[in-house]
Structure 1
């Protein structure tokens, strides 16, 4: 499940494919969760890590009580359009301040103590280790190259981080190209590979490395054959957006603007630009090829451009992302002119044209469009003559229908299209011939998959190779990697090892439609043991997200696998604001319509109780990142429906969101406090401002990474302090902050293990789930 707040939709960004729902911190093409734990807190690690960073002593603090000095945490009152808004814990935003550091250390120690006071917490970690050890290795992001090589990411059992490897033609074992574990040993700080991309000719490899979960990646280059590093790292390259010219002589890279001591946090992602240089050349030789200030280009500060060179050497294609807005701008220029220093950019589409994505192959630019197509359609511009035709001349490839067009990718044998019909995924192919029609492609097994237009992602084609590498997974089965041939035949490659715990044959899925407050039917996926008696006794965790038009795809994650094995019920609410039913469904949970997101969540919670799946004392609610809006507001609206709530790196103070680094990029999604109507929308969706004194709130666990660049830490710290002061239920309000993690991208296995164990233990404790998380004797 992607759970991302605020990244632009750059196709060069590689999702961290190994996190459970709520831990995913990367913009998602689609998330590819792994069964087996890639994340949880070891007891005592939180406080030790934070204290080690801050150099603090410990003071035991009772979570749930008013923190010492909370009344003087720098309360601020602001007036927006005649409405007085009080922020009682504004001072907690300064986490470096000595008093705040002491408070954070106290919160970590107290929260760990309460979790460990529950007798089953140590066993949770042991059973998660068993589940993780079930697979010999985890393999993601497989990429085929025309020379016969295969690039992929792999983490073997017991290793702490994914490495980047290449399998050369023949029988020789794969070679390790980039090893973040070795880098961590030398530096004492966890490293992660944010993204990688090979040149079209297979000579060069570009990859982004970051530390401590910060996502602040520098771009590195190496010769793929020799493994030799080339040149010096290029900083400010965290967004990916890397592309090589067809002959491998040039590299285009997206860079953020330079910042200084006086740069505001919210200005970090403004004025990004694309630069061109030769591989290995000094950065001083780079020249800007797309960005503000170049003649003929009209761009806004929040626009983030990305330039890709086509595989045939003919075109440079610029995609302009305006914050999190799904409609993009498209520009084309002959590649030779761009490389020679005199680009001739022509705009093909602007945001008003409602093009949401593109992919090029074999002389055609294919477009995914929502214009007069609420479930999207596919168009094509013919560029074979060298002329750039207007958008009005685009050919209709796949007309609008009841199916939601989700993605597309190009291979040598045609354009592949991914669509969704209810909860079922469909795959189609259209050959490159002029009069070809769109034909269905039979999947080797029914399952969920995602296609991307970027060869840097997992389920993709290559314009010079036939067929696809296709990831398939489901609610009850671990992801497997298939090779789909041009003739429609397919095979399981075996690249992803399996094990006894890679599937849940004892479980099944029930898909229902739940009437919401206005009669709209909300899809709800309920995963549970077979033969379950609906008597209201079953501990149940309900997940909700509902932002950016992202769809919650079926997948067997570490959390859900362990929860289901122990006898719990796991439910996913496909609420408005997501993409389950297309563009209209997304728009119905955005900005002024955002209340539908948490009202849909509440409708699903009530349905689970009314139908006997669970009861208020057995129902837990979980949300992460922008899903904090759906979950946090559901909790503040009807706290009596829930026994426990987990908020992972959650967006909770929406009135202050524009002061965060990703704040300006999120304005298209949520709105701005500078406009009256949008301010009121933001206030309505802000959990922090709807916490009321004297209410019996459920037990709450908030988790956050200190280095989170997407959702500021103070969303969790201020909300925790407010809940601790306001709640009268006597139930715990726990806060765990990890000093060496961020929003999710690059978390190590041990870091992910800690967060999964904390959440599982918390829910088991509060909801009364007692069954084993892994098969005994495993």
Structure 2
């Protein structure tokens, strides 16, 4: 049976074969990479409309969408990142229960009156296109705030600077400040930022993120007042490869730190100088360490340097020393490697703060910047995970957000004395601690004996009868670990009788650097085979059965679910690749492909090509195989994973699959990679994913209706 939907355009085959190291690779839908071509655009539109119409017909979807809205709106607001500044000022993003997008707000202390500084909905009303705040950074004195705003999920953020007292914009909008990288001069009158180049007409798209710059300009300055301090591709004042990204941070005592990253690796290189030397045009940068030294986090307090490194310590150690003569090779070990995994460092006026993963729980520690100071644990009120907020190195203490699988995210302040208090910035809601939901943590034996962490979220009375609709989620790339997090929308799935499982295969860093490297490039197959082992465990333990089991993964998680489907199509009822990286052989030809070479490899080398071909779902799909039902989701404006990853793979699957199961292509023409989505966009997609899985797992009440 064909999986080509009747009455819809059939993708034309126009094969483009290429030979790499003696292996010919076919690309039957190469022409789909031109999404503006009339036939391709028509195919996309027709299949997108078909997907929307089909999903709308699923019996329980409308009620599910209303339930998702009700749960999300049960708290009076959702609060995002919080930044503290002098004068007890708090800057944060907030979205009211009936609002669709986050605003930037400020207040003086937790009991102060809230003021809205910037509302991106005003831009949507003016243009018809959703806009979002991608990042923000307030100056240390709280006098001004910089923010990046982009449209339609593009992430092409432009820099705006606002005066906090009045909310008025100071100076013009500065384009191409995608990721911020904001730092401020000590007097708050100069803003440092990272910027990508303006591509010349006719330049290859792959150069979009190359030769990026670390810049500075006066607050309120114009394009002509911008000074480039570091540029990738230049040999001086620092030799930076064209494909890497330079950032500059100014510390409270006037020191300047330059960090250079390759875009995807957690490791970076760093140099130090002073702001005075930068202003004088004679920075004389001195190296702190190279990328090969394995440093993934750095904090500097006065002349004390703290760094976490995996060099000789796969689960990381904390080392330290002093400026100006800091030598990473001779640095003292302050915290040796242990069974726990050391994470991010943040400098505050009183101490350096460090998160540490102990099993599936994060713990918070602090160390004063004095010789011989001990590492002290900060006792947290919830066992789960957290992020340490943006640094405010001129102030004591830190702000963290804290949550678990079954406790909603709250925002806490940590004082210099180690006391922890709920800021109450995040309003409480009735679903914050659902007593009927629990998490079961297990270790699953993989194909080669490795033990893989699997978290299973379920109602306390869930029967182990093999009949539960189960959604298994994973990512497992870049050393990113799936930590315990609370999702209001996930409650709707659990309420409907579903089980939700989260795996941490190799490729994540749940057990440190070695675990990451064991699922990267040539070892990438471990990633999906660990995932398959987790799926087999859920079946063997009667949580579910193959006809009730679905898998879901986004972005690089598309490799995970796509290849799990290719290797074990019999194990799953449904597959949902979201903004999936699915054609890895062609990834390097895209703007974001070159920065990803350190993680996945390059097709210009034989080992890199072999690894990329092995992980490329598009190329691993075989004719005549009975594949499960698949729903691809993608934002057409995605700057990270080109939408043709989805359309090419969907066309190939429709032509190849012999199961007759549906292949849906759910496209959002006002979205990108998911960053900056409105609440409506996010809940619509979540309703579609859950409803599709319920339908394809055969749950009563979720059939298609006329």
Task: Bin the TM-score by the shorter chain.
Answer: over 0.9
Which of 299, 303, 307 is residue 240 of structure 2 equivalent to?
299
Partner of 1:84: 24
Which of 17, 32, 49 is residue 109 of structure 1 equivalent to?
49
Partner of 1:196: 136
626-635 vs 418-427, greater mean Cα deviation: 418-427
Answer whether contact 2:446 2:529 (CA < 8 A) is retained: yes
Task: Give the Å deviation of 1:487.
Answer: 2.0
- Separation (CA, whole Å) in 2 of partners of 1:116 and 1:80: 44
Task: Give the Å deviation of 1:334.
Answer: 1.7
Partner of 1:389: 326
- Separation (CA, whole Å) in 1 of partners of 2:701 and 2:285: 62
Alpha-carbon displacement from aligned partner over 1:295-314 (angstroms, at most 9, x marks no partner)? 3421111010100001222x
Task: Give the Å deviation of 1:574.
Answer: 0.6
1:480 has 2:421 as partner: no
Task: Give the Å deviation of 1:122.
Answer: 1.7
Answer whether contact 2:234 2:242 (CA < 8 A) is retained: no
- Separation (CA, whole Å) in 1 of partners of 2:310 and 2:156: 33
Answer whether contact 2:110 2:423 (CA < 8 A) is retained: no
Partner of 1:399: 336
Q: What does 1:501-520 correspond to in 2, within 5 Å?
A: 501-520=431-450
- Separation (CA, whole Å) in 2 of partners of 1:66 and 1:720: 16
- Separation (CA, whole Å) in 1 of partners of 2:413 and 2:157: 31
1:320 has 2:250 as partner: no
- Separation (CA, whole Å) in 1 of partners of 2:194 and 2:21: 38
1:179 has 2:119 as partner: yes
Partner of 2:162: 222
Alpha-carbon displacement from aligned partner over 1:153-181 (angstroms, at most 9, x marks no partner)? 10001101000000025965211101001
**Helix, strand or coil at the partner of 1:542:** strand
Partner of 1:273: 213
Q: TM-score if structure 1 supplies the norm length?
A: 0.88
1:348 has 2:292 as partner: no
Task: Give the Å deviation of 1:360.
Answer: 2.1
**Helix, strand or coil at the partner of 2:265:** coil
Answer whether contact 1:380 1:394 (CA < 8 A) is retained: yes
- Separation (CA, whole Å) in 1 of partners of 2:101 and 2:262: 33
**Helix, strand or coil at the partner of 1:159:** coil
Task: Give the Å deviation of 1:703.
Answer: 0.5
1:379 has 2:319 as partner: yes
**Helix, strand or coil at the partner of 1:701:** strand
Alpha-carbon displacement from aligned partner over 1:344-387 (angstroms, at most 9, x marks no partner)? 1111111121112212223322211111010111122312xxx2
Which of 348, 356, 372 is residue 419 of structure 1 equivalent to?
356
- Separation (CA, whole Å) in 2 of partners of 1:771 and 1:556: 27
Which of 711, 718, 729 is residue 648 of structure 2 equivalent to?
718
Partner of 1:138: 78
Answer whether contact 2:581 2:641 (CA < 8 A) is retained: yes
Size of the aligned set, in residue pairs, is 700
Answer whether contact 2:350 2:396 (CA < 8 A) is retained: yes
Runs of 5+ consecutive residues of structure 2 not aligned to the other structure:
none
Alpha-carbon displacement from aligned partner over 1:504-553 (angstroms, at most 9, x marks no partner)? 21011111111100000001111111132211111100001110000101
**Helix, strand or coil at the partner of 1:555:** coil
- Separation (CA, whole Å) in 2 of partners of 1:325 and 1:391: 19
Q: What does 1:150-169 correspond to in 2, within 5 Å?
A: 150-169=90-109
Answer whether contact 1:567 1:769 (CA < 8 A) is retained: no
Q: What does 1:721-740 correspond to in 2, within 5 Å?
A: 721-740=651-670
1:578 has 2:508 as partner: yes
Answer whether contact 2:632 2:646 (CA < 8 A) is retained: yes
Partner of 2:453: 523
- Separation (CA, whole Å) in 2 of partners of 1:657 and 1:271: 20
Higher relative contact order (CA 8 A, sep 6+): 1
Residues 770 and 132 (structure 1 numbering): CA distance in 2 closer, same or farther, change over 3 Å? farther
**Helix, strand or coil at the partner of 2:478:** coil
1:767 has 2:704 as partner: no
Partner of 1:24: none
- Separation (CA, whole Å) in 1 of partners of 2:455 and 2:637: 33
Answer whether contact 1:64 1:731 (CA < 8 A) is retained: no
**Helix, strand or coil at the partner of 2:596:** helix
1:566 has 2:496 as partner: yes
1:655 has 2:585 as partner: yes
- Separation (CA, whole Å) in 1 of partners of 2:347 and 2:122: 36
Answer whether contact 1:653 1:715 (CA < 8 A) is retained: yes
Answer whether contact 1:449 1:473 (CA < 8 A) is retained: yes
**Helix, strand or coil at the partner of 2:173:** strand
Task: Give the Å deviation of 1:480.
Answer: 0.9
Partner of 1:38: none
Answer whether contact 1:702 1:720 (CA < 8 A) is retained: yes
1:533 has 2:474 as partner: no
Alpha-carbon RMSD: 1.7
Task: Give the Å deviation of 1:343.
Answer: 1.2
Task: Give the Å deviation of 1:730.
Answer: 1.4
Task: Give the Å deviation of 1:395.
Answer: 2.6
Residues 770 and 566 (structure 1 numbering): CA distance in 2 closer, same or farther, change over 3 Å? farther
Runs of 5+ consecutive residues of structure 1 not aligned to the other structure:
1-60, 456-461, 773-778
Task: Give the Å deviation of 1:226.
Answer: 2.4
Residues 202 and 553 (structure 1 numbering): CA distance in 2 closer, same or farther, change over 3 Å? same
1:70 has 2:7 as partner: no
Answer whether contact 1:250 1:339 (CA < 8 A) is retained: no
Task: Give the Å deviation of 1:71.
Answer: 3.2
1:745 has 2:675 as partner: yes
- Separation (CA, whole Å) in 2 of partners of 1:636 and 1:741: 28
Task: Give the Å deviation of 1:769.
Answer: 4.3
Task: Give the Å deviation of 1:694.
Answer: 1.0
162-171 vs 252-261, greater mean Cα deviation: 162-171
Q: What does 1:424-439 correspond to in 2, within 5 Å?
A: 424-439=361-376
Partner of 1:6: none
Which of 696, 705, 710 is residue 635 of structure 2 equivalent to?
705
Which of 305, 310, 324 is residue 251 of structure 2 equivalent to?
310
- Separation (CA, whole Å) in 1 of partners of 2:403 and 2:104: 22
Partner of 2:309: 369
**Helix, strand or coil at the partner of 2:315:** coil
Answer whether contact 1:67 1:721 (CA < 8 A) is retained: no
Partner of 1:410: 347
Residues 445 and 318 (structure 1 numbering): CA distance in 2 closer, same or farther, change over 3 Å? same
Alpha-carbon displacement from aligned partner over 1:557-609 (angstroms, at most 9, x marks no partner)? 24422111222110011100001100000000001100000000100000100
Residues 66 and 311 (structure 1 numbering): CA distance in 2 closer, same or farther, change over 3 Å? farther
- Separation (CA, whole Å) in 2 of partners of 1:484 and 1:172: 19
Task: Give the Å deviation of 1:680.
Answer: 0.4
- Separation (CA, whole Å) in 2 of partners of 1:682 and 1:284: 43
- Separation (CA, whole Å) in 1 of partners of 2:151 and 2:345: 32
Q: TM-score if structure 2 supplies the norm length?
A: 0.96
- Separation (CA, whole Å) in 1 of partners of 2:379 and 2:145: 34
